[in-house]
Structure 1
Amino acid sequence: MNWQQACELPYYGGADLGATWDREHTVFKLWAPTASGVTVQLFATGTDAEPGAAMQGEHPMQPAEDGAWSVTVPGDLNGVYYVYVLQFPDGHGATVVDPYARAAGANGQRGMVLDLNSAAPEGWQQDARPDIPPHSRAIWEVHVADFSADEHSGVPEAWRGTYLGFVPADTTLDGDGVHPTCLNYLKALGISHVQLQPIFDYATVDETAPGGYNWGYDPLNYNVPEGSFSTDAFHGAVRVRECRAMIQALHRAGLGVVMDVVYNHTYHTDSWLERTVPGYWNRRWNNGQMTNGSGCGDDLASERPMVRKYIVDSVLYWAREYHIDGFRFDLMALEDVDTMNAIRAALDRLPGGERILMYGEPWTGGGTNLEGGAQPSDKRALDRLSDRIGFFCDDTRDAVKGNVFDSSNAGYVNGAPQCGYDVLHAVGAWRSGARGFRPRLATQVVQYVSAHDNFTLWDKLAAVARRGDYDAADGELLAQNRMAAAICLTCQGLPFFQAGEEFGRTKYGDHNSYQGPLSLNRLDWRRAHRPEFAALTAFYRGMLAIRRAYPRLAGAAGEPEPFLLALPGWLIGFVPETEGNDPVGQLVVYYNPERTRQWAALPSGSWRRLCDGTHAGTTPFGPICRDALELEPRSVTVLVAE
């Protein structure tokens, strides 16, 4: 199906696709304009292997408006499983799970009719998104299983590695009552949002067997929570209730929840979507082969009208029914600009929707074939993208600690001070246009040095330094780690961290642990409380507190780029702009990438330390400084005027 043929298919604009439950009846509606017949089959269970498995009936669907098929089935069908069976004019048939299914059985092979109110934890109706000021935002990325799977996490064994691992508010290391873990730990860290790696239903983990692991970038059912994170994958309402309970617990702790979404491809080329309207949902080259910009060989054609509608509808569903606070888009450049702007506009129309975050990766994994003049959502499209759609800045990442694709390549903090040229531009969130892109707002720029992809920060620093003992609390690596974090937290923009970065998380040199094992990926809560690494965590906590206390560091209110000081060599110094002429409370920030102490001139006035490269916090410490200051090696220093 080419672009013209796709655009000639009828557009269904209704908000009622899927199974709309009512106590008296359920309305099933599917967009399948090229089908010659559609039937809905009902089942007692989500799989044939369960006790009591049986088909409960089948109902022919009737053509409705704009390419949709519909049937109303009487009775209370809450908890009934279903699939659609389609016939096509060429004689072939297909069985599909409803693309709009809200729940599913084990391994997502049947959708489930669901009364959403019956799948809500106690108090869900009172759950609300926390109101987090833009300057206080800081993202912490984690995989649901990694968070609590450690046997020392203090989480009840049955809940480890599940949605419910986020629920207990007072867990400690081995239950010792002293060393906080999991949510108890997060409440004191100072981050504002938890970004969850994919939590929608994905294809590569067998939900019926323990021990499976995957990061989840292999979508199966976009509007259904992943069953392997629930305590019961067989009964579809359980995963919905427990996923909501996780979000509710994070909200109760004052933390927002960002959902990592993968609308750029499906895991199977023969996906439910592609089976429903063959040839419509995926991009293709002129020879008919699906494009592979995702690295998975089946890019979704977001520029096509019903694909765009599906993505917008899905995002809105998660925002409304799961109270999600933000969306991180995987390989965002595979989504076209108009689709991303449509999502932003749709979220903004929700109550409080303007506060919902949107950001993504402004790149692809390979070539694709956008049609109809559509423009990819990469850094070259910033003039067309909403200025409230952010992007991960790989320029900052690589300048600070070295290129991610070369394990030995160094950056500003670990042996290549000449990268300071790029770090200078990172300070002002790249609004100078030095790299050919120009954000309009600092808050568009996600400033980070590690994420789930590639080496952990600790492992990258160890690789450059040629350290083989990842468990050793190496003093040089600790200094580099602190400096990298402090740069992210003193640059304008939105700071982002991989979970455990703040205690030297290691995967022992594995740069791509997407298939596990869980023992390698899980957060090591004993490591978090080793004294040397606990001190690193305290440094992160102090820097996060400084950022919250001095809002203009973030540039979130539209502040201009900081005023740069003239300093020798590769030292960097800057003064964040302030209103008025009163110097009290003014900050000055210095970066010293050298392995030796360096002298730097101070602006006029009296200054005291908030951070000396090792210790950080909002309470000034140390003697008053005037005229000049000796900076510690490999350090970020923050001073406040008195």
Structure 2
Amino acid sequence: MDFNSPQFARQYHYDGGDLGARLTDTGTRFRLWAPTAQRVQLRLYPEGVVSDPLECVEMEPQDRGVWYYETPRRLAGVYYDFAVTVDGVTRTTADPYARACGCNGGRSMVVDLPATDPEGWQQDKAPARQAEDIIYEVHVREFSWDESGGFPQAYRGKYKAFTCTDTTLYGDGQHPTGLGYLRRLGVNYIQLMPVFDYGSVDEAAPDASFNWGYDPVNYNVPEGSYSLDPRDGALRIRELKELVQSLHRQGFRVIMDVVYNHTYHRDSWLERTVPGYYYRHRPDGSWSEGSGCGNDLASERSMCGQYILDSVLYWAGEYHMDGFRFDLMGLLDTDLMQRIRAALDARYGRGEKLVFGEPWAAGPTACKRGTRLAGKKSLPTLDPEIGAFCDAVRDAVKGSVQHTRSAGFVNGGRGKEGAVAQSLTAWCPGGRGFHTAAPTQTITYVSCHDDVTLWDKLVDTLDPRRRYDEGTPRVLRANRLAAAVYMTCQGRLFLLSGEEFGRTKQGQRDTHNAPITLNRLDWQRAWDHRDLVDCYRGLMALRKQLPALCDKSAGAARRLLRVETPAPRCVTALLDNTGSRWGQLYLVYNASGQAYTCTPDGEDWQCLADGETTFGWQQPQTAPTFTAAPGTALILGKPSQL
């Protein structure tokens, strides 16, 4: 059977939106899309782990490849799976469309979703958007695992930790950690690394191993290792909703990191249900591996794309997620990404839900002929509200992530001035390294969970002794300059949790399965490096007052009036900041070893931030000339004429 043929899609595409198990007023309905099956048997169980079935029933084939069974019993809390027979071979599979499951996801569970809603859930809504979107990437377990966070022992590493609103350093009552710390910092989006059910951690013994979670098993079910009881199929749902509700109440919107480009293993529920359909294969029949994980989902096939679209809409609706970060978005087709954007806009309003991703893949993929993938080259053709991580900014500021000793603008690199200048306008209208249609498409960042942390990169390039724990003055200065550069570029801001306090992983590049002791957030370090934290805090607060930087319109680049390189490793820029109490901005990035003195056009310029403080805007000082010390930045503002 040719799964790529238009005839197959026309005959079997199903968009009823009701696949899986659904409780109704009159009982329970089961639907499974399995167009190549000759027989499907539904099996019901009392538990989510090893047990004999309570009942086995034959499902009936219907139009468009759907198999159906209905019972007048309300089977909430009952577990189930399917026996699917294709070409004489019977495979046991959980439900790809399941919304609840047992421990480790091997069996699906019928769930009464309204019963999982915490009190007040129907009134839950996201806080109002601020002048700028500042995204803070967090791993659920890393966030609260360390004792220094002051979280209750039972909640450490769990969803419930996010319901603790006022934790302090070792419980001292004085130094905020967790959400209180983040409120003070000034970020307004919390991006959760994968919280769907993944396979690389044993939920029955979650403390025995660690993983970031980019290993999907059940796409529409929360991960159980973050739950207080992963054996309870409904509890993890309630706890994740409580997490979202708590973040909303504390002033944060929530972004979900989604991985629709591959599954944990090839022998997935999707493969067991419709063998060969959901994955890409090379002409010789071998598996495509553009994800670097052994398989690639065939998003361009109609029911695979529909599956992904339905999943996104489910998380947005049932869990009130405010945005989606797509892992390896460069493996997904542009038609699907456009459909996702349009569907979210239709339900929630234009741009209300953020959509962005990685505009690359780990390698080539074997997609259907004529498929256009959502990589860098496609960005100008995508909806402007589909964003992408801008590696051009990242590498210009700190150097290539592929080479440890490669340096960027702030840590000794040469010839980076042009890239820094283009970063100012979020690479609009673009250049060789990146090309976008509007700043809404640019995620401006210098570190995320992948690769070495910003701090470790600076230590690797600036400290021959590699003192990751200490922090030399040179490293600290470069970190402050890096923050000043990317936080004064247009686009949406993004940072790895702990970047602002010099988070270190001892120089290790990929810590996806390293011990939690290496990956955890060290809240003690946040207070040891409070001066660096305050640098970030001041920059975030200042940025929200500067329309020249927050402007996301297609014409935002016109706010850049002039950019110059007055000396090697020094960039200056003049920007139109109309709409603020400062009508113009003058930026100086001085990565050189010499002080740079400037006299901006006109008079009455004020120092808003410099190498000493990023809070100068609170009581700005006027002067005829200003000096940027070696390795520092200046942000100057010219008061608007009343």
TM-score normalised by structure 1 residue count: 0.96
Q: Helix, strand or coil for the counterpart of 1:179?
A: coil
Letter in 1 for 2:634: T
CA distance in 1, matches of 2:23, 2:615: 53
Which residue of 2 is the match for residue 97 of structure 1? Answer: 94
Letter in 2 for 1:106: C
CA distance in 2, matches of 1:278, 1:7: 18
CA distance in 2, matches of 1:93, 1:431: 54
1:179–1:579 CA distance, 2 compared to 1 (3 A): closer
CA distance in 1, matches of 2:53, 2:260: 32
**Any conservation in 2 of the 1:18–1:100 contact (CA below 8 Å)?**
yes
Q: Helix, strand or coil for the counterpart of 2:421?
A: helix
**Any conservation in 1 of the 2:548–2:578 contact (CA below 8 Å)?**
no
Which residue of 2 is the match for residue 481 of structure 1? Answer: 479
Which residue of 1 is the match for residue 44 of structure 2? Answer: 42
Q: Helix, strand or coil for the counterpart of 1:560?
A: helix
CA distance in 2, matches of 1:421, 1:399: 9
**Any conservation in 2 of the 1:3–1:371 contact (CA below 8 Å)?**
no
Which residue of 1 is the match for residue 466 of structure 2? Answer: 468
Q: Helix, strand or coil for the counterpart of 1:45?
A: coil
Which residue of 2 is the match for residue 8 of structure 1? Answer: 8
CA distance in 1, matches of 2:159, 2:25: 29
CA displacement, residues 492-530 of structure 1 (integer Å, 9 cap, x when unaligned) = 111110000000000011111100200100000111111
Letter in 2 for 1:512: D
Which residue of 2 is the match for residue 274 of structure 1? Answer: 271
> 1:242-321 alignment to 2 at 5 Å?
242-321=239-318
Which residue of 1 is the match for residue 235 of structure 2? Answer: 238
Q: Helix, strand or coil for the counterpart of 1:164?
A: helix
**How many Å apart are 1:15 and its aligned residue?**
0.9
Q: Helix, strand or coil for the counterpart of 2:220?
A: strand
CA displacement, residues 534-586 of structure 1 (integer Å, 9 cap, x when unaligned) = 11001101000011111321222442341224441132122222448x98443
Correspondence for 1:199 among 195, 201, 216: 195
1:565–1:621 CA distance, 2 compared to 1 (3 A): farther
Which residue of 2 is the match for residue 372 of structure 1? Answer: 369
CA distance in 2, matches of 1:567, 1:306: 52
1:620–1:155 CA distance, 2 compared to 1 (3 A): closer
1:39–1:433 CA distance, 2 compared to 1 (3 A): same
1:77–1:482 CA distance, 2 compared to 1 (3 A): same
Instruction: Tell whether 2:415 aligns with 1:418.
Output: yes
CA displacement, residues 345-385 of structure 1 (integer Å, 9 cap, x when unaligned) = 11111134631000000000011012130101011112321
Letter in 2 for 1:464: T
Instruction: Tell whether 2:455 aligns with 1:458.
Output: yes
Which residue of 2 is the match for residue 576 of structure 1? Answer: 575
**How many Å apart are 1:6 and its aligned residue?**
7.6
**How many Å apart are 1:600 and its aligned residue?**
2.4
CA distance in 2, matches of 1:56, 1:227: 24
CA distance in 2, matches of 1:151, 1:422: 42
Length, aligned pairs only: 632
Q: Helix, strand or coil for the counterpart of 1:240?
A: helix
> 1:32-111 alignment to 2 at 5 Å?
32-48=34-50, 53-88=51-86, 90-111=87-108
CA distance in 1, matches of 2:504, 2:514: 14
Which residue of 1 is the match for residue 169 of structure 2? Answer: 173
Which residue of 1 is the match for residue 23 of structure 2? Answer: 21
CA distance in 1, matches of 2:274, 2:206: 35
Gaps of at least 5 residues in structure 1 are none
Letter in 1 for 2:359: P
Letter in 1 for 2:204: T
**How many Å apart are 1:3 and its aligned residue?**
4.7
CA distance in 2, matches of 1:27, 1:384: 41
Letter in 2 for 1:253: Q
Letter in 1 for 2:466: G
**Any conservation in 2 of the 1:21–1:115 contact (CA below 8 Å)?**
yes
CA distance in 1, matches of 2:628, 2:103: 58
> 1:513-552 alignment to 2 at 5 Å?
513-530=511-528, 533-552=529-548
Letter in 2 for 1:549: Q
CA distance in 2, matches of 1:393, 1:7: 39
Q: Helix, strand or coil for the counterpart of 2:347?
A: coil
CA distance in 2, matches of 1:183, 1:583: 31
CA displacement, residues 234-275 of structure 1 (integer Å, 9 cap, x when unaligned) = 011011000111111111111011111000011111111011
1:511–1:111 CA distance, 2 compared to 1 (3 A): same
Correspondence for 2:356 among 355, 359, 364: 359
**How many Å apart are 1:445 and its aligned residue?**
0.6
CA distance in 2, matches of 1:584, 1:605: 13
Q: Helix, strand or coil for the counterpart of 2:194?
A: coil
1:584–1:296 CA distance, 2 compared to 1 (3 A): closer
Q: Equivalent pairs: percent with the same residue?
A: 46
Letter in 2 for 1:130: P
Letter in 2 for 1:83: D
TM-score normalised by structure 2 residue count: 0.96
**Any conservation in 2 of the 1:328–1:359 contact (CA below 8 Å)?**
yes
Which residue of 2 is the match for residue 152 of structure 1? Answer: 148
1:458–1:578 CA distance, 2 compared to 1 (3 A): closer
Instruction: Tell whether 2:33 aligns with 1:31.
Output: yes
Q: Helix, strand or coil for the counterpart of 1:103?
A: coil
**Any conservation in 1 of the 2:4–2:368 contact (CA below 8 Å)?**
no
**How many Å apart are 1:618 and its aligned residue?**
6.4
Correspondence for 1:333 among 330, 354, 365: 330
**How many Å apart are 1:129 and its aligned residue?**
1.6
1:292–1:6 CA distance, 2 compared to 1 (3 A): farther
**How many Å apart are 1:67 and its aligned residue?**
0.6
**Any conservation in 2 of the 1:546–1:618 contact (CA below 8 Å)?**
no
| Pairwise CA RMSD | 1.6
**Any conservation in 2 of the 1:250–1:257 contact (CA below 8 Å)?**
yes
**Any conservation in 2 of the 1:610–1:619 contact (CA below 8 Å)?**
yes
Which residue of 1 is the match for residue 182 of structure 2? Answer: 186
**How many Å apart are 1:108 and its aligned residue?**
0.3
**Any conservation in 1 of the 2:82–2:95 contact (CA below 8 Å)?**
yes
Letter in 1 for 2:535: F
1:584–1:338 CA distance, 2 compared to 1 (3 A): closer
CA distance in 2, matches of 1:397, 1:578: 25
Instruction: Tell whether 2:145 aligns with 1:143.
Output: no
1:579–1:611 CA distance, 2 compared to 1 (3 A): closer
Q: Helix, strand or coil for the counterpart of 2:147?
A: coil
1:423–1:557 CA distance, 2 compared to 1 (3 A): same
CA distance in 2, matches of 1:238, 1:248: 15
1:6–1:213 CA distance, 2 compared to 1 (3 A): farther
**How many Å apart are 1:440 and its aligned residue?**
1.2
Gaps of at least 5 residues in structure 2 are none
1:578–1:623 CA distance, 2 compared to 1 (3 A): closer
CA displacement, residues 11-70 of structure 1 (integer Å, 9 cap, x when unaligned) = 11211101011254110000000001111111111002xxxx442212211011211000
**How many Å apart are 1:613 and its aligned residue?**
2.2
Which residue of 2 is the match for residue 610 of structure 1? Answer: 608
1:567–1:35 CA distance, 2 compared to 1 (3 A): closer
1:604–1:565 CA distance, 2 compared to 1 (3 A): farther
Q: 304-313 or 413-422: which moved more?
A: 413-422
